[in-house]
Amino acid sequence: MIDRERGVQSTLMSELPLMQSMGQIEDRLASVAEQLPDAECGTSRWGDMCIRHRSRTVATLERHRHGLCLVVKAAKAELPALLASDRYSVAPYVGRYGWVCMRLSSRIDWREVEEMVAMSYELIGQRR
């Protein structure tokens, strides 16, 4: 919807204060990684920010056709509930191994992000 007085889309203007820049999101994810033992931030082969535990990927910040998302590994028991939400989808290429895309909207629930990264960290850290 266009706001005639301002000449801009009012729906976009209402979301602007809630949006975070990519740098702010990456900084916040780095602070999440700092809370996990032996976890570090890095860059994936494709240039995306990722969190690793030793040499294994725990989470990756990616852009998909649905927008910005955080790709994490989820517990098999959690998958049906997560995928029932419109906020989650099966991750491309690695979804068959239990990885999901968590869409990051203009209002990011950082507690949920921390919980999902922690779950992925625990699953990745387990011995095969």
- 5 in any annotated domain: no
At 2 the pLDDT is: 37
pLDDT score for 80: 96
pTM of the predicted model, to two decimals? 0.81
**Per-residue burial over 22-56, b = 16 or more CB atoms within 10 Å of its CB, e = otherwise:** eeebeeebeebbeebeebebeeeeeeebbbbbeee
pLDDT tens-digit series, residues 108-126:
999 999 999 999 999 998 7
Residue 93 is part of a domain; what is its CATH number? Answer: 3.90.1150.30
Give the domain extent around 51: 21-125
- Over residues 29-78, the pLDDT tens digits come to 999 999 999 999 999 888 899 999 988 999 999 988 778 999 999 999 99
92 in a structural domain: yes
- Total tally of structural domains belonging to the chain: 1
Residue 10 lies in a domain: no
pLDDT at position 127: 57
Q: Is residue 56 part of a domain?
A: yes
